[in-house]
Amino acid sequence: MDKWHADKSENLIHNVSALRTAERLPNDFIIGVGDSDLQVVGEKFSRKEEDSQATMWRQYARESGRVYRNDTPDRAVDRFHRWEEDVDLITSLGFKHYRTSVSWSRLLNKDQSVNQDALEWYQKLFRRLRGNGIRIYATLYHWELPAHIHEEGGWKNRSTAQAFCEHARIAVTELGEWMDEVFILNEPWCSSHNSYFLGHHAPGEGNLRDSLLAAHHLLLAQGIATATIREVVPDLPVGTVYNIEPAFAYTETDDDRFAAQLANEFFNDWFFQPLYEGTYPEALREQYGAKCPVFDPEDMEMIRVGDQLATMGINYYQSKVVRRCFENALGYLPVRLPHEETNELGWSVSVPPIYPEGLRIGLERLHQRYSEHGLTRMLVTENGYAGSGNDAPNSPVLDDPLRIQFHENHLHQVMSAREGGVPVDGYFAWTLLDNYEWAEGYRPEARFGLVHVDRDTLDRAPKASAEWFKGLNGMRAERVSTEGQAA
């Protein structure tokens, strides 16, 4: 270990931690790492060298005033030019499973024809990954909405669902031979409610009805794309990715318990229930009243494709404690408690005793609710810790003990759920590199990476957490090899 890393005693503690975790993971349990195209590529590079389309996020970051320091994805971490270095980095850390996205704004031109330069870039990347023995999990929409589609109304328009499906068709037709699994959407809650109602993400709007339309059209796109992909590449496993945020009542009063129900339905069931049951939650529809659109029953049938999916990807970062609030449009408000454990963005990691293990509880709730409706397999597709790295007094930037603690704790939560009968088969750390973090831009506290990126030079340097995963992956590989020789 170089001068940046912890001393030998801390390294020993980390090695023991990795060994303890490795011993609990079955040989067939997937450990991977992920990122997304817009957050890493560098939009100014793809725009200049591929003549690709601008994304909605580029303009939003520049002009909305809602992004940290107006940071744009123009530079990101320059994956565009440094892709070989990054593939070798993934390989050196022992990861055999990698999730990324194929950008709609890059793969298709404005007239829906294929951008050949972008296609060739993805082909080179995917060949290199597969050549290094790395399995590819490709997301088709990780918020890379073309700017011109946003200007026409974006996900508020039904036509956007059809336009997206052409991107999905071309992506799997041209790149499917390298994909081990394809995920249609990433976190539709974020690209609808967080974008068109709460206004935290692009396009930064604040209309509940519009956000409900956006959510519906995202789910419709997901249903249509599922059918399209199954027709074009029948053998390619199809899944999708939702973020969950389990909600817990502040008190045991009926009002607060109902608040927790509304919060769970707003964040979770508004997306899971139509996918698996073909309906939207009734209590929340009543709460919205006239603001809730009337949805076509035929749409609901197209949306209900949960039993056709090979995998449900689950992204998890935090849970919420809530109380009833009759004045709020959603019917509840979050409660912050003094003993919360948070990351550096203030996201609640744990609130004992109300919820000590939010990820485990969230996975268990999903299994209990939707296993009879086709939910047969889950992967934790994102889970990570935001922090600048200075987690301990006088610690160097590459020593990130709280990130190691976070990943170890949540891996054990996943294993507790699995050992209790929840069909969860893997865990992807978020994220490989300190990259562009949406509305947080390049804020130091919003660094999720296992690998530090110098914002001036863009040079990469593995943190202690990267070494922890390298040790974990190495121990598991050695065990599999030893057991194979013994057999």
Q: What is the C-alpha separation between 68 and 75, in angstroms, rounded?
A: 15
Position 484 scores a pLDDT of 78
What is the chain's pLDDT, residue by residue, as a tens digit (487 residues)?
Answer: 343 344 545 665 678 889 999 999 999 999 999 999 999 999 999 999 999 999 999 999 999 999 999 999 999 999 999 999 999 999 999 999 999 999 999 999 999 999 999 999 999 999 999 999 999 999 999 999 999 999 999 999 999 999 999 999 999 999 999 999 999 999 999 999 999 999 999 999 999 999 999 999 999 999 999 999 999 999 999 999 999 999 999 999 999 999 999 999 999 999 999 999 999 999 999 999 999 999 999 999 999 999 999 999 999 999 999 999 999 999 999 999 999 999 999 999 999 999 999 999 999 999 999 999 999 999 999 999 999 965 444 555 699 999 999 999 999 999 999 999 999 999 999 999 999 999 999 999 999 999 999 999 999 999 999 999 999 999 999 998 888 777 6
How is 299-328 classified by DSSP, letter by letter?
HHHHH--GGG-SEEEEEE---EEEEE-TTS
Supply the pLDDT for residue 14. 75
Domain boundaries, the chain: 8-486
Beta-carbon contacts of residue 100 (< 8 Å; ≥ 6 apart)? 34, 35, 36, 37, 40, 136, 137, 138, 139
Neighbouring C-beta atoms of residue 208, cutoff 10 Å: 16
Tokens standing for residue 3: 């001068």
Superfamily the domain 8-486 falls into: Glycosidases (3.20.20.80)
Structure tokens at 17: 């931690």
In this structure, are residues 197 and 211 in contact, taking their beta carbons and an 8 Å threshold? yes
Strand 30-34 vs strand 97-101: parallel, antiparallel, or unpaired?
parallel
Please state, in angstroms and rounded to a whole number, the distance separating the CA atoms of residues 1 and 9: 12
Strand 320-324 and strand 311-316: the pairing is unpaired
Q: Retrieve residue 33's tokens.
A: 């790492």
3-state secondary structure of 352: coil
Give yes or no: 382 in active site: yes
Active-site option among 43, 50, 181, 187: 187
Name residue, tokens 């976070």.
406
Question: Between the CA atoms of 251, 254, 258 and 259, what dihedral angle is there, to the nearest 10 degrees?
Answer: -40
- Computed from CA positions of residues 26, 28, 34, 36, in that sequence, does the dihedral angle turn out positive or negative? negative
Do residues 355 and 320 touch, judged by C-beta distance below 8 A? no
Q: How far apart are CA 197 and CA 194, in angstroms?
A: 6
Q: Which of 357, 382, 408, 467 is catalytic?
A: 382
Q: What is the pTM of this model?
A: 0.96
CB atoms within 10 A of CB 135: 17
Could you write out the DSSP letters of every residue in 257-304? HHHHHHHHIIIIIHHHHHHHHS---HHHHHHHGGGSPP--HHHHHHH-
Query: Which DSSP helix (H) or strand (E) runs through 99?
Result: strand 97-101
- Which long-range contacts does 250-256 make (Cβ < 8 Å, 24+ apart)? 250/321, 250/322, 250/323, 250/335, 250/354, 251/323, 253/324, 255/323, 255/324, 256/322, 256/323, 256/324
Q: What is the pLDDT of residue 178?
A: 98
The one-letter amino acid at 383: N
Rounded CA gap, 475 and 15, in Å? 10
What lies within 8 Å, CB to CB, of 300 at 6+ separation is 274, 278, 279
Closest to 422 in 3D by CA, of 331, 314, 266? 314
Crossing angle (nearest 10°) for helices 401-419 and 358-370: 30
Length of the chain equals 487
298 catalytic residue (yes or no): no
**Kind and range of the H or E element at 400?**
none
